[in-house]
Chains A and B, each alone.
Chain A
Amino acid sequence: MISSIEITRFRGIREGKLEDLAPLTVLVGRNGCGKTSVLDALLVAGSRNPGEAIGQTVARHPGVEFGAPWLFWRRGYSGPAEVAMKTNYGTFVGDEIEQYERTTKLRLLEAPDEECRIEAKLLDNSDSKTLGGAAVDVAFSRGNKFSVAAEAPCLIPPEQFPGARLMEGRRSSLDTPLHELLSRARMHGLLREALHITQGVLPDAKELAIDVENGLPLVVLDYGDHAVPVALCGDGVYSLVSLSLELAAHEKTTVLFEEPEVHQHPGAMRQTVRAILAAVRRDIQVVLTTHSLELIDVLLAESSDEDLERLALYRMELDDGRLISARMTGPEVAFSRFEIENDLR
């Protein structure tokens, strides 16, 4: 689980850190307060394939032909970017699980504009001792297309930290294909749970299944007498299905959600929250951003006391590029929202 992140000159954040991240971490704040930058930083530093993650981070922000230099604070004129991340993990020693903490530092070095190349270094320095490092070269071209020249081996074994994955509230070409997620969910024995979440909104759906069309796999919602491709469903249904499959497809990972409530009816939002809480109970860490008080209300309403203990909310702001945050525990969030009815946005 990612327990803290420290960011220096990365995207919109000149400096700042978030500490004591919880199994379920909610980031709130005004537009432009650095929430997306934090998610990008978590993705880059937390991914098992940092080169791919850097590419994804650039490509998921369309609208600039050459987006790579903008990974850096004010386009990189003031130096390289750094993201340091602490992860906690448990390892069996005999029959006992021992808890460890490891610090991973990722350094992005600036490169020229068009054929923008970024070198990333991974330095694993527990106890300030460098255990290893590796370089990743990512080549960017027009339209933010990217290729990873040589992938660095992740220094932390997958069983200790399976890595971070990002999901957005809107459809993205960077999403993992649904059929891959469905296969993995089935492999983990969690397809029924994903279906159940979907049935909360579409009660007549009987199965989530993989069909084949022109030799290509296609995930469909099977209603018994007919089937509908999930890709053709509205954005709200699509995001609910993909979110529930994403959470069911991986074990002990960190999933980053950007505004999961986008496109969702309150009923779908409730199902989304149920899927998130179920995943957190299975030791999946979820970090999400939101502007929705409704989502927070549903989250609190669906949470048990134990769930609240796993929750932390950060109210964020940027102060001339410096990330300022105030952390509240789950019970404090509940108190503020229900007892005092404070506006948490």
Chain B
Amino acid sequence: MSESVVLCEGFHDRAFWAGWLEHLGCTNLGQASGNTGRIVVTDPSGNRVTGGQFAFRSASDKFVRLVPCRGDARRVRRKARLRLDEERQRFQQEASTPRLTRLVLNVDTDVDVVDTSAKTGFRLQDLGSLVDELDPSATNNEQGDFLLFDRRTTVSLVRWEAAGDATDGVPSQQTLERLVCSALMAAYSDRGPAVQQWLDGRPAGSAPGPKEFAWSYMAGWYAKFGCEGFYKELWRDDPVAEHLKVRLKESGAWRVAEALAE
């Protein structure tokens, strides 16, 4: 009856997570082979997985749910609060097993690597405040995860981040797009300048944002997969996957995904 849940902002984050979890050995339950009809996926409680959620089975047969939250970090936080509150009530009533063993909140911070004073995004201390509301006796492990309800539920924060200064072909805002463009640029160094040149050369084009960068790579080298497929397909491109791994390890996110997938 237990499950792990990843709350991400939008469909592109969902696609990226889907490719990542598959890369780490999870089975996407919505894409089971040998079934040509409509696939109905159910969770450990027997309820259908609906509403844009994806479901995975980890290597050790754990259920992992991937939940997009309409592209809004505030909804990620609110949804996290609801899930944790439900678990809090179950814990207080001494339910023998947790329903939620691991919860991951995944957000863009939108911090600009050039102008770092503008935004902070949802930080670990913000998650700490949320956790404290629901379980004042929660503890931290060495990696910075929060352990709630007598250590039955682990809560982690994944912020899309890629270190480094402003570079041609890579947006400066800390987003999924920056992470992806940064890995693409590292794997294929000739593509970044080409993307930058194309973006700079657009007639009457406004300053490019993260999405303009990412879609330019998609249109240039991954168009046949479409917008969401692009984020998933990157994990099948070995050089890109390797550079994604480096960046995700640096930010601490890799460890979180590995724990989900094990």
Minimum CB distance partner of B94 in chain A: A322
Q: What A residues does B75 contact at CB under 8 A?
A: 339-340
- Asked whether B206 is an interface residue with its Cβ less than 8 Å from the other chain, the reply is no
| A232 within 8 A of partner (CB) | no
Which candidate, B25-33, B48-56, B129-137, B167-175, is the interface stretch facing chain A?
Answer: B48-56
Q: How far is the CA of A54 from the CA of B50 in the complex (A)?
A: 40
Kindly specify which of A79-87, A204-212, A258-266, A324-332 makes contact with the partner chain. Answer: A324-332
Q: Would B67 and A324 count as touching, CB distance under 8 A? A: no
Does A343 touch B at the CB level, under 8 Å? yes
Name A309-345 residues within 8 Å CB distance of B: 315, 317, 319-320, 322-328, 332, 335-336, 339-343, 345
Knowing A30-B46, A315-B86, A326-B86, the reply to whether A340 touches B67 (Cβ < 8 A) is: yes
For B89, give the chain A residue with the smallest CB separation. Answer: A326
Question: Is A16 in the interface zone, CB < 8 Å from B?
Answer: yes
> Is B241 in the interface zone, CB < 8 Å from A?
no
The smallest beta-carbon distance between A244 and chain B, in angstroms, is 31
Q: Does B35 contact A (CB under 8 A)?
A: no
- For the complex, give the distance between the alpha carbons of A336 and B69 in Å: 10
| CB-defined contacts of A322 to chain B, threshold 8 Å | 93-95
A319-B95, A327-B89 are contacts. A341–B78 as well, Cβ < 8 Å? no
A315-B86, A335-B78 in contact; A342/B51 too (CB < 8 A)?
Answer: yes
Given A325-B89, A328-B82, A341-B52: A30 touches B45 (CB 8 Å cut-off): yes
Closest B residue to A342 by beta carbon equals B51
* Residues of chain B with a CB closer than 8 A to A335's CB: 78-79, 82
Complex CA–CA separation, A317 to B93 (angstroms): 11
Could you tell me if B95 and A340 are in contact, using CB atoms closer than 8 angstroms?
A: no
Cross-chain contact A324 with B93 (CB below 8 angstroms): yes
Checking A324, A327, A340, A345 against B79 with a beta-carbon cut-off of 8 angstroms, the contacting residue is A340
Q: Which residues of the partner chain A approach B86 to less than 8 Å between Cβ atoms?
A: 315, 326, 328
Contact yes or no, A324 B52, CB < 8 A: no
By a CB distance below 8 angstroms, the chain B residues around A325 are: 89, 93
A55 → B minimal CB distance (Å): 31
Q: Is B143 close to A, CB under 8 A?
A: no
Complex: A30 Cα to B79 Cα, angstroms: 22
Answer whether A324 and B90 are a contact pair too, CB < 8 Å, given A30-B46, A319-B96.
yes
CA distance A326 to B78 in the complex (A): 16
Interface size on B, residues (CB 8 A): 26
Interface range on chain A: under 10, 10 to 19, 20 to 34, or 35 or more? 20 to 34
Chain B residues, CB < 8 A from A339: 69-70, 75, 78-79
Bound-state Cα–Cα, A323 to B79, Å? 24
With a cutoff of 8 Å between Cβ atoms, the chain A residues found around residue B50 in the complex are 341, 343
* Shortest distance from the beta carbon of B84 to any chain A beta carbon, whole Å: 11
Taking CB atoms, residues of chain B closer than 8 Å to A341 are 50-53
Residues A343 and B51 in contact, CB atoms below 8 Å apart: yes
> B255 → chain A, closest Cβ, in Å?
26
Q: A320 CA to B94 CA in the complex, in Å? A: 11
Interface residues of B in 67-126 (CB under 8 A from A): 67, 69-70, 75, 78-79, 82, 85-86, 89-90, 93-97
Chain A residue contacts of B141, Cβ below 8 A: none
Beta-carbon contact of A324 and B95 below 8 Å: yes
Q: Are A336 and B93 in contact (CB under 8 A)?
A: no
Closest A residue to B85 by CB, please name it: A326
CB distance from B93 to the nearest CB of A (A): 5
- CA–CA, A155 and B97, complex, Å: 41
Chain A residues positioned under 8 Å from B97 (CB to CB)? 319
| Cα distance, A125 to B49, chains bound together (Å) | 46
User: In chain B, residues 15-50, which have Cβ atoms closer than 8 Å to a Cβ of chain A?
Assistant: 43, 45-50
A30: B residues at CB distance < 8 A: 45-46
CA of A13 to CA of B217, assembled, Å: 59
Question: What residues of A have a CB within 8 angstroms of the CB of B51 in the complex?
Answer: 340-343
Known A-B contacts A319-B95, A336-B82; A343 and B49 likewise in contact (beta carbons under 8 Å): yes
Over the window 283-327 of chain A, the binary record of Cβ atoms lying under 8 Å from chain B Cβ atoms (1 yes, 0 no) is: 000000000000000000000000000000001010110111111
Which B residues lie within 8 Å of A327 (CB)?
A: 89
Shortest distance between the CB of A317 and any CB in chain B (Å): 8
Chain B residue at smallest Cβ distance from A336: B82
B-chain residues with CB within 8 Å of residue A319 when the two chains form the complex:
95-97
Q: Once bound together, how far apart are the Cα atoms of A299 and B75, in whole Å?
A: 22
For the complex of A and B, list the 9 residue pairs with the smallest distance between their C-beta atoms, beginning with the closest.
A341-B51, A326-B86, A324-B95, A326-B89, A343-B47, A324-B93, A319-B95, A345-B47, A319-B96
- 26 intermolecular pairs with C-beta atoms under 8 Å apart: A16-B93, A30-B46, A315-B86, A317-B95, A322-B95, A323-B93, A324-B90, A324-B93, A325-B89, A326-B86, A327-B89, A328-B82, A332-B82, A335-B82, A336-B79, A339-B69, A339-B75, A340-B67, A340-B69, A340-B70, A340-B79, A341-B50, A342-B79, A343-B43, A343-B48, A345-B47
Chain A residues within CB distance 8 Å of chain B: 16, 30, 315, 317, 319-320, 322-328, 332, 335-336, 339-343, 345
Given known contacts A30-B45, A326-B89, A328-B86, what 5 new A-B pairs fall within 8 Å (CB)? A322-B94, A335-B82, A336-B82, A341-B51, A342-B79
